[in-house]
Amino acid sequence: MYTAEFAYVRPDDLDGVYSALDEYADDVKVIAGGQSLLPMMKLRLTTPGVLVDLAGAQDLHGQWCIQDGVRLGALTTYRQLQHSPQTLSLLPGLADTLAVIGDPPVRALGTIGGAVAHGDPTADLPAMLLALEAVVHLGSARGTRSLPLQDFITGLFSTDLADDEVVIAVDIPQPPSGAGAAYEKFEQPASHLALCGVAAVLNLDGHMVTRARLAMTGVAAAPRRLGVVEDALTGTSVSDSALDEVAALAVEGVEPLEDLHAPALYRLQLLRVATRQALGVAVSRAGAGWAA
Amino acid sequence: MGHTQDGTEVTVELEVNGRQRTRTVAARTLLVHFLRDSLGLTGTHVGCDTSQCGACTVELDGVTVKSCTVLAAQASGSSVRTIEGVAGGEDGSGLDRVQQAFWDEHGLQCGFCTPGMVMAVRQLLRDNPSPTEDEVRHGLDGNLCRCTGYQNIVAAALRAAETPAGEVR
């Protein structure tokens, strides 16, 4: 299957990327790993006249320790992250999430920038990034700006990214010491896309939950935080029955998607179950330290 | 990498199996079609063409990727190894250990998935030289076989892992 025709440019640096986006304005897409974009282009779901390859922009490659966590260049691949023990040791939950994205060759090319910019409602990584309170950095010829990922994701394949902007980096703060994290996913077996995925990052003081961050993907138009569950958990003393009760709240306010793989009610049930499972695993890891 | 005036054609310069190759092709040319149609290296197969089956798996700068989901233009400037570049190995003779293990364990029936499977197993063993059976099954997640039920492919991967790299048998 061929994509529609397009012109291909690979600028040597970030300024070149910005210029190309300016020049070709309404008829341009940027390509990073291409693992989502190229399949869409083959199906002619998108037919940009110009494709701007980010690969030449060295500023988008790399991982840096920052004051409260890690900054990942937008072109950091899932595979690179899986082979970055220092980053994984700072960010609980990341390794579990990376391991269930696509398959090994897809992870070799797929990037964190693509994961957030694509706005895919079934993407795994955004759920964990939301639970870790990631911040997205955007750049354009007009300058740079930053916003929390939860404000950046606006809907179904929709983000706050302007036509002339690119995602340049994602900051992931390290959660408070002793955090336990988990990512639980029910997938469509052929595509590996999430029918439902839930990320949980918890801190405990003894049996008491002191901090809870949860997010889901695959169920609704966009990945999003599960604020009702977070509020109910905080201050709760952990027990099987308490976690059962809290997990049942996960569906509150969620407007589920429906497709031939999973009816809406089934997706909601998966959301309850995945939330309960993620809470159980995160609790078991919290306080006990964890290994990447 | 050069561009024609309207940019819908690109000049792709690649090192393929140790040999420098240059061709001017449509920008939308996929790496798998570049390898097969422009260079005549038909060992890399087009299976599903949707990034699911792994029959098109090749090594791009030493890491396996699905060449149906990479533009030839993206790969320009890189080094590619296809199944044609696997046999012979360093000393220029014989099958490599993964190919030999597929032979010994009868890890194929129709053979369509085999080039991709061999590339995937090579990556698996580079990442994890002594995998468990479970790790092999997960490691081959991106490669489909519709004949074997995977049993002999997994056996071949485990056998290859027991063979020192560079040693055929």
Per residue of chain B (169 residues), give pLDDT as tens.
Answer: 444 446 799 999 999 999 999 999 999 999 999 999 999 999 999 999 999 999 999 999 999 999 999 999 999 999 999 999 998 755 666 899 999 999 999 999 999 999 999 999 999 999 999 999 999 999 999 999 999 889 999 999 999 999 887 655 4
**Ordered structural domains, chain B, with CATH:** 9-82 (3.10.20.30), 97-162 (1.10.150.120)
User: How high is the pLDDT of residue A189?
Assistant: 86
Contacts of A81 in chain B (CB under 8 A): none
Q: How far apart are CA A197 and CA A97, in angstroms?
A: 10
The answer on pLDDT for A105 being more than 80 is yes
Helix (H, G, I), strand (E, B) or coil at A199: strand
Contact criterion met (CB below 8 Å) for B61 and B1: no
Q: How far apart are CA A34 and CA A246, in angstroms?
A: 39
Contacts of B51 in chain A (CB under 8 A): 35, 38-39, 106
User: How high is the pLDDT of residue B164?
Assistant: 81
The answer on pLDDT for A289 being more than 70 is no
Does some domain include residue A213?
yes
| CATH number of the domain enclosing A13 | 3.30.43.10
| CATH number of the domain enclosing A207 | 3.30.390.50
Instruction: Please judge whether B69 and A38 are an interchain contact, meaning their C-beta atoms are less than 8 angstroms apart.
Output: yes
Question: What one-character DSSP code corresponds to residue A159?
Answer: E
pLDDT band per the 50, 70, 90 thresholds, residue A233:
very high
User: How high is the pLDDT of residue A190?
Assistant: 82
Does some domain include residue A291?
no
User: How high is the pLDDT of residue A1?
Assistant: 79
Q: Which residue is closest to A49 within chain B, CA to CA? A: B8
Q: Which residue is closest to B59 within chain A, CA to CA? A: A105
The pTM of the full predicted model, rounded to 2 decimals, is 0.94
The answer on pLDDT for A288 being more than 80 is no
Shortest distance between the Cα of A105 and any Cα of chain B, in A, equals: 4
Same domain for A134 and A75: yes
Does some domain include residue A290?
no
Instruction: Quote the domain boundaries for residue A275.
Output: 180-285
Which of A5, A6, A8, A23 is the best residue to mutate to test the B interface, defined by the most B CB atoms within 10 Å of its own CB?
Answer: A8
Helix (H, G, I), strand (E, B) or coil at A98: helix
Q: What is the mean pLDDT of residues A155-183?
A: 97
Contacts of A5 in chain B (CB under 8 A): 8, 26-28
Domain count, chain A: 3
User: How high is the pLDDT of residue B41?
Assistant: 98
User: How high is the pLDDT of residue B91?
Assistant: 60
Same domain for A139 and A202: no
User: How high is the pLDDT of residue B167?
Assistant: 54
User: How high is the pLDDT of residue A25?
Assistant: 86
Contact criterion met (CB below 8 Å) for A144 and A239: no
Same domain for A71 and A17: no
Instruction: Please judge whether A7 and B124 are an interchain contact, meaning their C-beta atoms are less than 8 angstroms apart.
Output: no
Average pLDDT across chain A, whole number: 95
A269: Cβ contacts below 8 Å, ≥ 6 apart: none
Instruction: Please judge whether A108 and B8 are an interchain contact, meaning their C-beta atoms are less than 8 angstroms apart.
Output: no
